[in-house]
Structures are given as structure tokens and as C-alpha cells.
A and B are shown apart, each in its own frame.
Chain A
Amino acid sequence: MSSPTSTPGGRKRNRNDIPATPGSIGSTSPPSQRRRGQDSSNADLPAMPTSPATDIASPTVHDTSLFSSPRRSVLPSEVDMSSPLMYGTPSSRVEGTPRSGANETVLFREECTSTVFDLQTVASEPSVGQKLVIWGTDVNVGTCKEKFQRFLQRFIDPTSNEDENAGLDLNEPLYMQKLEEISVVGEPVLNVNCGHVQSFDADLYRQLICYPQEVIPTFDMAVNELFFERFPDSILEHQIQVRPYNALKTRNMRSLNPEDIDQMITISGMVIRTSQLIPEMQEAFFQCQVCAFSTRVEVDRGRIAEPAVCRHCNTTHSLALIHNRSAFSDKQMIKVQESPDDMPAGQTPHTTVVYAHNDLVDKVQPGDRINITGIYRAVPMRENPRQSNVKSVYKTHIDAIHFRKTDEKRLHGLDEEADQKLFTEERVKTLKELAAKPDVYERLSSALAPSIYEHEDIKKGILLQLFGGTRKDFSQTGRGNFRAEVNILLCGDPGTSKSQLLQYVFNLVPRGQYTSGKGSSAVGLTAYVMKDPETKQLVLQTGALVLSDNGICCIDEFDKMSESTRSVLHEVMEQQTLSIAKAGIICQLNARTSVLAAANPVESQWNPKKTTIENIQLPHTLLSRFDLIFLMLDPQDEAYDRRLAHHLVSLYYQSEEQIEEELLDMAVLKDYIAYARTYINPRLNEEASQALIEAYVDMRKIGSGRGMVSAYPRQLESLIRLAEAHAKVRFSDKVETIDVEEAKRLHREALKQSATDPRTGFVDISILTTGMSATARKRKEEVAQALKKMIQSKGKTPAMKYQQLFDDLRGQSEAAITKDMFEEALRALADEDYLTVTGKTVRLL
């Protein structure tokens, strides 16, 4: 590696190395500097054809004032203006870079220890002439600086919804407010969204992308001038650094190619490895062993020229390197791997090496998903002193300028950014066209798992689950978040393609997890604390439920899950959080996941004579948390069989092209869901709320006639979620009556399947909410009353034999009384404090 120092980090490091307060430096600005400032302001402005024509032609008073007071700008007092380092020789630009053109230009800048070096470059330029540009580029520093200052002062983005800008007045210049923030907070970093730069001045953006090494220092200068003019008394740790992010140039690691070398790029990926901190020598300190004369030598392209002769005493080879007086800077190597979503199927993910410098070191951990903005580099393999030929391969890496964690916010608050997928305009158009079709709901539901036959309502339910409801935050009123996720349980005979449906959903959603109840433990679902064998650090490892935050957790063989595992689901399915108290770590993680579970009946075949609860033997507390419970039963009907057979046979002889079409559908469906989830947040309108109220009242009425409760507020919440999801399907911002109608219908269908009391044939919600149908409860009460009556009729007998009582009751009652029923009746009476059961005797109280 001939020039490892060719990094933009060098630039930052330099700024760090000299923590002198800018104010003190600025006070002694050389006259040449001032002249330059005036030059640029007077001469540059009118001659700026490339900049947006808006309000530039006549510089405002503000502008002139800015430029006429360059005294405030951060300037070096100690820099030798005639330093030969300044321009680097033209060859140094090209050396070591694969392409001619813009490349190692910055070398000189980095090697120079002075922060202000940048300014010098600029300083000398205008003196030669306006047309002067930095060698190898078309960047004129003065123009560029001015443009950027104008950008900072004028850029307004009223539609901004970035969370970083929270609390800022969107109608005021955005970056000026940020500068103000810097003056208050004292953290001298200004993050600049390249998208903003682009919309403000496309030419400036192009220069930033193509010549980041030249343009970013220029930006730094501009910002610092502006800042210290505004806030002359601020004291910062070092100068403000501009950190551009969100360069639109490249999104995907795979699309990096030689053309991107030395350009600014933004890629997304996952950190897989970080190195230890590497101290990188910036300046070597030598001391003469004879006379103790000391000298400093800067690192030049990774090498230190050891002085052969002491300048002081003229002894040869007497100078020794003193390590602890040399200057070092931090550096870290980070390996980033392509994120799985970006990859074509059947290939392995690519990795890229990223170097972080100074304060960017240790900003990211392995496993983080990040967006990196940086400069793409390629350096030839190190020349071998003994070998005249070299390997013809370059090593590539990215010098990081800015990290942005994409999953950071998942731990707190909403994360629109994380889900934000970029949709091209055509894509949005096709999606909207699709949404406008009247039968979009049917279309989408039939596109869902086409290989699985029929079960239309189940597919519709799953479709609504994929869209989810609208998230509502009531935490200010103390109720916390309302669940927006729809949970669905599928029960039914084995072999009714439940698993296949789950697999399909798992493959469809970006953040899906698939687990089987049989194989998963409570920790596998939630999170566990692990000790890193190397660092002895405790690490929180997340399980399926946390991993599927904002996605769908598919749990197969739900019934085979152990009791303790199931218990964690209680919290997740209603509160959407996961509390952990383990090994000293107490925390609450978000688990806003929809649960799609599948359960088999206990008796392997569904018994239609039993209720759902009896068939699958799951606690009703858990069941009531499912919005929709569907039965997937074998209908055993000729017409159905025929359609099924046709469907399956056609599956086996359809040609490849038809299959291709289906695949395309899946991609559209994916995008459709992603788009709706990100951009559509429907709210109830007046009519719809009225309809919901009516629906709920109706549901309550059905039951009250027979003396039972047929709906609880939970059902109302389900209805709202389903209606919202249906509105999302239509890309509608309003929940309307039709949405409520469909929600009602689907909810009823599901209830009809799962909550029908096999004894009476009525739909009875209490089967799901209390685990027992109202008729069963009634019977239980009757038995208890009969027993009580019988005991009372016996007169004053404080104690009775258990067995005898049972026999008496059996003899008295017309209906057959089982031992279970008898015991239940005893328990009921004991609860009334009427009697107690001790061993084999029953005592009255």
C-alpha cells in the first residue's frame, strides 16, 4: 500500500490534532486572506451561471457583510504560506490511483498538520484568476464556498420529516438552525443531507459527489466562516466538520464499479466485523542520541523519512524515534456486508472494507445495519522492493465520512426510515393504478400464496394482517401504544397446508421470522443474555419475536409450545413489548410483531363436536389476543374436491412462463405492502366510526338476548384494526364504511368458524374469551345449585362423606353427572364460602 494516508479521515484528524480555539486563530488573519474573501464576494457572484438563478444575482446585504468580515474566519497564524506542500506535485495526485483525473489530490491536505491548510489552497487561487480551479477538477474554491454558504443560509425544507430535524422550525433556514444548535450543544459536526444540496444547487451537488476531497474541506471552511461570524464567542473543541450523507449516487454495494473510485457514495449494509483501534502515526518524533536535539517528521504516504544526519550536531544516524512523543490518530477497519435484501438470489453477499477515523471509530458494532457515506478508494497492491512486477490488483475500501444506523430507532419510537424503501416513480404509479382498481382487495388476496387452494377468507385475513392497522399513540394520556398489529391463528386438520401458508408469508415480508413451537424455547423467542467469550462483555441476543419487530412472526405448531414459552406471548401480543430481567440487564424491547400461528387439534383430527378451546387446548387468555381465528378444515364436499383437483393438476403442468408471471406478482405484492405500510395512515371518518359503534352494539345485542356476552372491547379494537388495514389496501387515508363492512364480515366469518358452540350452534364469543361457552357455564351453575339444595335438604350435618355426596347427587339428578362436574360444583360452592373440602370429607361452614 503506497499511500494509506490518502483518507479523508486525515482531514478530520488534522482538525482534531490542533484543538486550538478557533477564535484565537482567527484573530490574526493575514491580509492575503482578507483579500481573497473580498475578491470572491465581489467578483464571483455575478459570474455564476451554473448556480440557480433565483435570488443569487443580487447578493443580499447579509451576504456582503459576511464576506467583508473575513477576520473571523478560522485562519492559521503559524502556517507558512509558501509551504511547498500546498499543491502537491501533479504526480502525487495520480500516483497510486487507478484512474487519472480526480484522485489523490487530497494527499497534500492530509499530510499537512495544519487545519488551515485548506484555506491556503483557496487563498492563492483567486489571486491568479477567476477561472482557476483545483487541479484535475472543475471546482473553483471561492465559488463553491459561496454557493455552500448560500445553501446553508437559504435552504428551507418545509416538508422535512426527518427525525433529526425534530424541534426545528421548518419554515426557517434549516442549517442555520443547526448551526445555532452547534453553538449551544458544542458538538462541532454538521450533517448535511445531500438530497438538500441537490435540490438547492444541482451543480454543487455534482461537484460534491465527484470531487469530495476538494469540496468537503471547502464546505468546512465555509461553515466555519459562517459560524464564527454568527457566534463569535463560541468555543468549540475543534472546527465544525461537514458530514454529508445520503448521497444518491449508489445505494447498493453490488453496483460499485471502477467509475465510483474517489467519488462520494452512500451504501447500505451490515457491519460484520470491526477491528481493534489502530493508532496511525501522523508525525514522528525523532531525538538525537548525541545532543538530544529533537525533530519532527511528517508521515508521507505511509512512510517516514528518517533523518540521516542530526541538524544540530551533524552526527550521522544518531536520531531515534520516540514513540510516545509522536502524534497518532485513531483508525478502525470495519467490514460491511451487503444487506440480504439487496442481493440477487443465488449469490453470496459482497463485503467492503470501510475505514473510520477519529470520532467515527467505535461508532458501529458488528450486526448493525448502517448507511455509510464515504469516499470509495482503490489503491494498488504494495510495490515490492525486491520485485519489479506487482500484482495487478487494487485494494478497495471506503473512507467513511458519515454513518447512519438504519435500525437504531427500532429500539425507540417509530421507524419510518428503516422501512423506507425507495420506490421509483413508475413503481409508485403502477402501485397506485393497481390500488385504484375496484377489485384490488380480491386481486391481492388471490395473489397471496397462489399454490394454496381457496381459503379465500383466510387469505384475506392474512392480507389485512400484512398491512396492519394504524399506529396510535396514547402514551401521553397514560394508555400507552395501541396495538396496530393483527394477530391470526389458524387451526385445523394436519395436512391442510397451514405450514405452507406460513412459509409463504415468511418469505413475503422483509422482516419475518419462522419458528416452530416444537423447537423453540422461551429464550429463543424473546432474548437472552450472552457473555462474549473474548471481551467478557454481556451481549443481549434477540430472539424471533424481537427480530420480527415490525414484521410478522410465524409460529408453526403453536399447540406444541411449552407453557413457559407461550406465557411470553401474552405480553408481546397485547402490549407489543418484551420485558427482560436477566443477568443484571433489565429492559423492555419493542416487539411490535404480528403473530401468525398455526395449531393442530389435540386429537390429530378436528372434532366438530367440541369447541375450539377443547380442540386445540390452548389457554383462552392467549386465544382472546388473536384478532382472527380461522379453521382450516377439510370441507369434504364434491364441488370443492373438483376445484381442488383442478387447481393441483394445473399446478403440475403449467409452463415456466406462467410461473414467471406469478413471481412477478409476488414482487408487486411485496412493494404494494411496503408502500402502504410506509405511506398510508388511514384515520376513521365520521361515518365509519358510527358504523363501528353500531357493529359493536349489534354484536353485544346478539348475546344479551340469551343472557350472555357476545362481544368485548377487544373485539371492537380488532374491528378497528381490520377496518384500517382494509383502508390501507385501498391506499385510502380515510377509513370508510366499506372498510368497516369488510372488517365486520371477516370478523364474523372467523367467529363463525371458531366460536360456534357445538352444543347450541350459536356463535358464542365467550368460548374464546373465557374458554367456556355460556351454555356450559349455565350447566355448571345448575349443578352447583342442585348440590347446594341437596345439602340444605339434608338438614344440619356439618360434615359429609365425599363419595356419598357424589352418589346422592347422581341419584337425584336426571342428567348424567360426571365426577368432573361434581368437583366443579364443589369448587363453586367452596368459592361461595358455603363449604370446604378436606380430603374425603366435605364440611359446611
Chain B
Amino acid sequence: MPSSNDWINNPLGVVEEMFVQSNSNPEWEAKVLEYFKGKLKEKQAYSWIPSLNDVPLHYLKPNSLVKFRCLVQDMFDPEFYMGVYETIDPSTKAKVLRFGKYKDVTECGVDLNSRNTVTAERQTFYCVPIPGETLWAKETYARSSQARVVPSTSYIPSRQKRSYEEDDEMDTQPQKQREPHTELHANGDSKRQETEAPSGQTTSPSNASSPLDLNFPLPGERGPACLVKVYEDLDSFKLNDMLEVYGILSVNPLLSVLCEEKDPSASLLDPTESMETPEEQRAHDPPASLVPRLHMLHARPLQHNNPLLPSDRAEDQHAFVSSFMVEMASVRAEFLAYLTHILLGDGLAAEYLLLHLISSVYARRDVLPLGKFTLNLSGCPPNSSFTESLHQVIQELVPCTYRLSMTLHNMNSLRLVPRKDYVANRLVSGALQLARNTSLVLDETRLEQGQLDASGVQNITALGNLISWQKVDYDFNYHQMEFPCNINVFVTSEGRSLLPSDCQVPLQPQVTPPNLEEYLSTVHKAQLTSQINKFRVYLSVAQTLDYSISDEVTKAVEDDFVDMRKDDPQSVSAEDLHRMLVVARLLSLSLGQTSLSREGWMRAKHIDMLRRTRSQPQTTVNGNEP
């Protein structure tokens, strides 16, 4: 059996051994999976494996086991490959059976006519780092990793390979069309890698300079994109799933050479080859040095992306949550105080912001998403960086967030909705392709008067759909396809937002600091990291708690509703009840209570009343009809 660390450093060797032992019995595949699953179950095993997210690609050993925390951005068509094939040694004519699983390239001398060839199916997912992942989450993940990556051994060979690749390209393909482009890019890239590597940055050619668009959903993202080859349970994966993929890293330079080599005369005779547009080639077969291939051995779907919560095993998680529940109420009080400071002393707005941050779509009833709680904070000071500072605070609290500045220019020019590009045959990402529970901050204070063009209207409609139905209609040119999502939308605006929202709270500052930014940053800095960490855990835990309403409380709520309607039928509608039920739910969860109590309901009613009295005069002043 392989020695202790072979399964990380040389997983293919392990597979090979099992394959040989199996004597072409197809069971070897199941055995391989079982073996790696078993290894990964061992305590701390997760942390020994280097992660593509925080180790630069050229530090990683090719064909070693790595992990990658990612979002499934696109799913390519399934492909057939040689699962098992036979090779013939040209000199001895000896036939050897080999396996093609977990590999991109075959060994020398494939016998295409062999009867032992087994064709198998696999699918490629285009995976990107989780969009909007905040710095603290990245750093915490990186710190928790115990993988020993020794640059001195793996760095040099990979560099050699890179330069070989460049030479090869230049020597053999002097009159290639794209040559100046690629060359420039390759040089620039390697240079950047060298300068960046010591600082611990992930290898990433920035989108601007590189001719290859890595198709990240959000602008300005960095990190490696990866082509993940999936072999089992193809149907269990969905677009936009957050995964932690464990797989065999393949950066075989042959891959790029194979696809780069274009023989013009051959393509004439070989029309199938020329069928694939260059765009498609580039999207589906990017150079392995930029977009490495990862052959999946195991994948762990991520329910949340919070590194502070134990993620390994269910029982650990359970114990952690139940121990944290004791503290919930006290952490909540501290957190509320902190948010109140941030929101210039407005306690009610802070309360609502807290509820918003722990909201999550927990179910859908036909078209209606339940549990979403879009908050519109109106009365934000215009033309200031208030929202930006607020977003910085949120960035410190949640694992994934993005601030969309709704300027007229952005609205007209940004691509929010992902769109299928049929020429390159891939899904071109948009800013609304986000992982679950990502916090999306829409800065409406930046919106000025002016003309929205067609795409601007579409973008606004898309945002409206996202808020109302928690779905994004991806544009497939000939039709649209609906993808449900779970994104916490927070809108800051001066008056009432033009976007729909579940709940609008006008900000009423109690303090008016002369310098807003300074004020906020001092409040922000006053918090200890340990405390911030507590808040982070608090938010994630509250989001995942279960919740129920007892029959008794149901009855009370019903009675209450009937009474309210009796008093003033105009002001209390079914929609109000919907909202109050969500508020009650979130309020209970924020206190760590998993069922609604009578007091909880009264509290929810109370704060909703406070909010309404606050927003009533404002709506009439603005004259903004719903």
C-alpha cells in the first residue's frame, strides 16, 4: 500500500496501483474513490492538502492532490474519453493496458484499434473562486491550511516547464497568427508571477492585460480559474454551487501545445477541426498554465463559506453550534451596539440591518421565495462615501459581499445578467452570478438623473426580479432560463428606492460627525479582532438555524392579525403580515431561539410599528407612490 503521504503527492500512483491490481475489473474505480474518501475523512486531512486558492500555481506539484474552493460558473458539454486503453511499445510490441481516468493526455503509442478500449464519459465544469470572497475569509482559510509547500523543490521544475513551453512556441510556430499576442502575454505573465509570488498572492493574470478572459462574475476579481473534470454524480452538481473540490492537478504543458498547434493545411482537409471557432477553442481549452485542469476525486458542497465555522464533519458542526447558542444573546447585544455606532446612532436601523444580514431564503412556495429580507436604507447622505464605508464594515463581517454602485454609467454598461455566448459556447458571467448568501450592496445614492438605455432598463429589471423573486433569468439568446438564487440585497438610497424591497427604513442619525469617514473608521478600528470574529460566527450560525412556530403561537398571531385588521383594515394587508412573519422569524433566530414565542411576535410587531411611524411622513413628503 502507498506510504503515508503518497496519496497527496502522487495520487496517480495510487490509482495506478489499484488499476493494476484490479486486473481490468471495472471495480477499481469505486475502490479508488473509496480510498480517497477514507483518507480525507481522517482528522485534519483536509488541511494537509494545499489549496489552489492560496498557493500560487507554480508552487504546486503537477499531478499532486490539491483542493480548490470555487463556484461552478459554467458547465461544458460532457465529453467522452478513453477510460481504459492499450498501448503498444514500438520496439518490443508489448501491449500494456492503461487507464485514462484522471488524466488529460494518453501515454505514448495508443492502439486505437484495441478491443480493450473502454469509452467513458466525464464533464468539465468551469470553476472560478467564489465571487466577492472577502479578504478575511481568504486569509483565515490560508492560515488554517497546514499544507507544506516547499517552493525550492517544486518551483524550479515548474519554471523550467514554463520557459520550455515558451521556447517551444516560439521555435516551432514562428509565423503563427496569434504569436505576438501570446508571446507578449506569456512573458508578461511569467514576470508578474515572479514578482508577485513572494508576497503570497495567487497567480492571476489580470483581466485587462490578458487576452484570455477568465470570465469572473465580478470585475476586478483575481485568482485562478480552473477546469474541473467531473467523473461521478454529474447530476448532483448545479450551476453556481459552492464546492470544495479535491482533485489531481494537471498542468501538462502538452495540453496547450496540442491545442495551440494549428496546421493550416490540416484544417483544410479536416473540417471538424476548423469548426471550432478560435473563441471556442480559447474558452474551452485555455493554456493549462493559466487555467489548470483539476480531475475531481471528491467534492464537498459548501453550505456556507465561513472559515471560522468547523466545516469538516456534521457532528463537529453540531457541537459547535450548540455551544455557540449559549452566547448568542450576548453577542447579539454587542453586535447591535456596534452596528448602531456604525449607523450614526440609529438603533432601529441597526436592528433591521442585523435582521437583514442573517436572512436567507430557506424555502420556496411555488414562485414565492420565503425568508428573503431585502432592506432599503433610505435617507443616506448623498454624495458621500457613506455606503462605501458601510460596505467596508459589511466586508469585515460576511464571507462574500459585493458593492454595486448604481451609477447611470454602470447601469447602462455593466453586464449584470449572465449571457450565453454561442460563438465561444460558454456562459459569459455577469455580476449577478453570485454564490448563495452573498451580500449584495446596491448603492443607489450614486444614481443621478439621466437616460437609461435598453441594457440599463434590463439591468434594473433584473435587479427587481432578483429582489422580488430571488431569481435571475440568464440570457440564452433564444430564450431565458431561470436560475433561483439566494442573495441578500441591501439598498442604500436617499429617498425611497426605485427598486422594490421587503422593508424600508429611513435612517435617522443621532450623531452628526463632521467627518463621516473618519468617524466610521474609528468606530471600526475600535473593535477587537476577536470580537469581530465572534460577530462573523454569529451571522453564519444564525443563518443556518432551524425555526418553527408552535400551534399555540400560530393561533395568537392569527388573532392578532384579525384584531389589527378590525382596527384599521386599510393599513394592514396580507403583505404586512408576510413581512412581520419574516421579521419575527429573523428576530427569534437572532436571539438564538429556534421557535417563535409570544414575546418574539410582540417584539416584531413593535419594531415594525416603529419603522412604519418613521417612514409614514417621509413617503408623503416624497410623494413616491408604491
* Cα distance, A604 to B365, chains bound together (Å): 28
Question: Which one, A312-320, A621-629, A642-650, A715-723, is touching chain B?
Answer: A642-650
Cα of A450 to Cα of B367 in the assembled complex, Å: 10
Q: How far is the CB of A299 from chain B (nearest CB, A)?
A: 8
A379 interface residue (CB < 8 Å to B): yes
Nearest-neighbour CB distance to chain A for B317, whole angstroms, equals 19
List B379-437 residues whose CB lies under 8 Å from chain A. Answer: 422-423, 425, 427
Which of A60-68, A194-202, A269-277 participates in binding chain B?
Answer: A269-277
B584 CB, nearest partner CB in chain A, Å:
9
Interface residues of A in 350-380 (CB under 8 A from B): 350-353, 366-367, 378-380
Contact present for A303 and B269 (CB under 8 Å): yes
Q: A384-B258, A394-B79 are in contact. Are A378 and B115 (CB under 8 A)?
A: no
Q: A4-B270, A335-B422 are in contact. Are A340 and B365 (CB under 8 A)?
A: no
Q: Using a CB-CB cutoff of 8 Å, which residues 75-127 of chain B contact chain A?
A: 75, 77-82, 85, 100, 103-110, 112-115, 117, 119-121
Which of A16-24, A93-101, A726-734, A740-748 is the contact stretch?
A93-101
**Residue interface mask A327-343, B partner, CB < 8 A = 1:** 00001010101001001
Kindly identify which residue among A348, A395, A519 contacts B75, using a CB–CB cutoff of 8 Å: A348
Q: Are B561 and A645 in contact (CB under 8 A)?
A: yes
Given contacts A100-B115, A507-B367, A642-B562, contact A649 B275 (CB under 8 A): no
B511 within 8 A of A: no
Contact across chains for A382 and B478 when beta carbons are under 8 A apart: no
Which residues 390-416 in A have Cβ within 8 Å of B in the complex? Answer: 390-397
Of B35-43, B53-61, B546-554, which stretch is located at the interface? B546-554
- Asked if B365 and A351 sit within 8 Å, CB to CB, the answer is no
Contacts of A331 in B (CB 8 A): 271
Q: For the complex, is B457 an interface residue (Cβ under 8 Å from A)?
A: yes
Query: B123's closest neighbor in chain A, by CB?
Result: A350
Residues in chain B near residue A78, CB distance under 8 A: none
User: Which stretch in B24-32, B132-140, B198-206, B570-578 binds the other chain?
Assistant: B570-578
**Is A278 located at the chain interface by the 8 A CB criterion?**
yes
- CB–CB A641/B119 < 8 A: no
Q: Which of A258, A344, A638 contacts B80 (CB 8 A)?
A: A258
Q: Tell whether A388 pairs with B573 under 8 Å between CB atoms, given A258-B119, A652-B581, A659-B363.
A: no
Tell me the B443-489 residues at the A interface (CB within 8 Å): 457, 461, 469, 476-479, 481, 483-484
Given the complex of chains A and B, what is the CA–CA distance between A651 and B577 in angstroms? 12
The answer to whether the Cβ of B558 comes within 8 Å of any Cβ in the partner chain is yes
The reply on A40 being an interface residue by CB < 8 A is no
Other CB < 8 Å A-B pairs besides A391-B106, A394-B81, 9 of them?
A270-B478, A351-B77, A393-B104, A641-B566, A648-B577, A652-B370, A653-B547, A654-B363, A656-B363
Given contacts A1-B272, A389-B108, A497-B574, contact A349 B258 (CB under 8 A): no
* Interface presence of A30 (CB below 8 A): no
CB pair B272–A392 under 8 Å, yes or no, is: no
Contacts of A656 in B (CB 8 A): 363
- In the complex, whether A88 has a CB less than 8 A from a CB of chain B is no
Give 8 A-B contacts (CB < 8 Å), ordered by A residue.
A275-B275, A340-B476, A389-B105, A390-B110, A453-B574, A641-B566, A642-B558, A653-B549
Chain A neighbourhood of B585, CB < 8 A: 652
**Is the C-beta of B239 less than 8 angstroms from some C-beta in chain A?**
yes
Of A257, A278, A340, A604, which is within 8 A of B271 by CB? A278
The reply on A484 being an interface residue by CB < 8 A is no
- Asked if A387 is at the interface of the complex by the 8 Å CB criterion, the answer is yes
Q: Which residues of A contact B117 (CB under 8 A)?
A: 98-100
From the candidates A258, A302, A343, name the one contacting B121 in the complex (CB within 8 A): A258
Query: Chain A residues with Cβ under 8 A from B573's Cβ?
Result: 495, 634
Q: How far is the CB of B557 from chain A (nearest CB, A)?
A: 5
Assembled-state Cα–Cα distance A542/B558 (Å): 48
Q: How large is the interface on B (under 10, 10 to 19, 20 to 34, 35 or more residues)?
A: 35 or more
B266 within 8 A of A: yes
**Residues of chain A within 8 A of B575, CB atoms compared:** 495
* Residue from B80, B105, B367, B562 in contact with A500 in the complex, judged by beta carbons closer than 8 Å: B367
Compute how far the CA of A581 lies from the CA of B510 in the bound complex, rounded to whole angstroms: 63
A381 interfacial by beta-carbon distance below 8 Å: yes
Q: Give, as a whole number of angstroms, the nearest-CB distance from A386 to chain B.
A: 8
Q: How far is the CB of A261 from chain B (nearest CB, A)?
A: 7
Main secondary structure of the interface of B (DSSP, over half): mixed
A residues apposed to B, CB below 8 Å: 1-2, 4, 91, 94-96, 98-100, 256-258, 261, 270, 272-273, 275, 278, 280-281, 299, 302-304, 331, 333, 335, 337, 340, 343-353, 366-367, 378-382, 384, 386-397, 449-451, 453, 494-497, 500, 503-504, 507, 519, 604, 634, 636, 638, 641-642, 644-646, 648-654, 656, 659, 662, 666
Contact for B366 among A99, A258, A451, CB less than 8 A: A451
Q: Is the beta-carbon distance between B366 and A648 smaller than 8 angstroms?
A: no
Known interface pairs A391-B258, A451-B365, A500-B367; A4-B574 also in contact (CB < 8 Å) = no
Measured CB to CB, the closest approach of chain A to B132, in angstroms, equals 20
Interface presence of B569 (CB below 8 A)? yes
* CB-CB contacts below 8 Å: B256-302 with A: 257-258, 261, 266, 269-273, 275
Given that A367-B478, A382-B266 are known contacts, is A391 also in contact with B104, CB under 8 Å in the complex?
A: yes
Complex Cα gap A281–B269 (Å): 8
Complex contacts, A652 vs chain B, CB 8 Å: 370, 549, 581-582, 585
CB B228 to nearest CB in A, in angstroms, measures 14
Q: Separation in Å of the A365 CB from the closest CB of chain B?
A: 11
The yes or no answer to B74 lying at the interface (CB within 8 A) is yes
Beyond A395-B272, A645-B562, is A507–B81 a contact (Cβ under 8 Å)? Answer: no
Chain B residues 113 to 165 lying within 8 A of chain A, measured CB to CB, are 113-115, 117, 119-121
B365 contacts which of A100, A646, A662 (Cβ < 8 Å)? A662
Whether A390 contacts B105 by the Cβ 8 Å rule is yes
| Interchain CA distance A270-B478 in the complex, whole Å | 9
The reply on B612 being an interface residue by CB < 8 A is no
Residue in B74, B106, B574 whose beta carbon sits within 8 Å of that of A392 in the complex: B106
Contact of A391 among B105, B119, B270, B457 (CB under 8 A): B105
Q: Find out whether the CB atom of A636 lies under 8 angstroms from the CB atom of B565.
A: yes
B609 close to A (CB within 8 Å)? no
CB–CB B365/A659 < 8 A: yes
CA of A335 to CA of B423 in the docked complex: distance in angstroms?
Answer: 10
Q: Is the CB of B106 within 8 A of A649?
A: no
Q: A396 → chain B, closest Cβ, in Å?
A: 6
> Inside 8 A of A333's CB, which chain B residues have their CB?
271, 275
Q: Cβ of B273: which chain A residues have Cβ within 8 Å of it?
A: 1, 382
In the docked arrangement, what's the CA distance between A384 and B105, Å? 12
The one of B74, B113, B120, B258 in contact with A381, judged by C-beta atoms closer than 8 angstroms, is B258
Indicate whether A98 sits within 8 Å of B82 (C-beta atoms), given known contacts A347-B239, A646-B554: yes
A304 touches B577 (CB 8 A): no
- A63 and B81 alpha carbons, distance in the complex (Å): 48
Chain B residue numbers with a CB within 8 Å of A388 are 108-109
- Binary interface profile of B, 535-551, with partner A (CB < 8 Å = 1, else 0)? 00000000000011100
Contact, CB under 8 Å: A302 / B367: no
Q: Is B115 touching A94 in the complex (CB atoms < 8 A)? A: yes
Alpha-carbon distance between A21 and B558 when the two chains are bound, in angstroms: 86
Interchain CB contact under 8 A, B271 and A280: yes
| B254 within 8 Å of A (CB atoms) | yes
Report how far A273 CA is from B366 CA in the complex, Å. Answer: 34
List the B side residues contacting A651 at CB < 8 Å: 365, 370
Chain B's nearest CB lies how many Å from the CB of A584?
25
Given the complex of chains A and B, what is the CA–CA distance between A352 and B275 in angstroms? 13
State whether A662 and B478 are in contact (beta carbons under 8 Å apart), knowing that A275-B275, A382-B266, A390-B106 are contacts in the complex.
no
Partner of B238 from A4, A346, A381 at Cβ < 8 Å: A346
The 7 A-B pairs with the shortest beta carbon distances in the complex, nearest first, are A346-B238, A98-B119, A645-B561, A645-B558, A392-B100, A388-B108, A258-B119
Interface membership of B233, Cβ < 8 A: no
Closest A residue to B584 by CB, please name it: A652
Is B192 part of the binding interface, using a Cβ–Cβ cutoff of 8 Å? no
A residues within 8 A CB of B422?
A: 272-273, 335
Instruction: Name the CB-closest residue of B to A353.
Output: B275
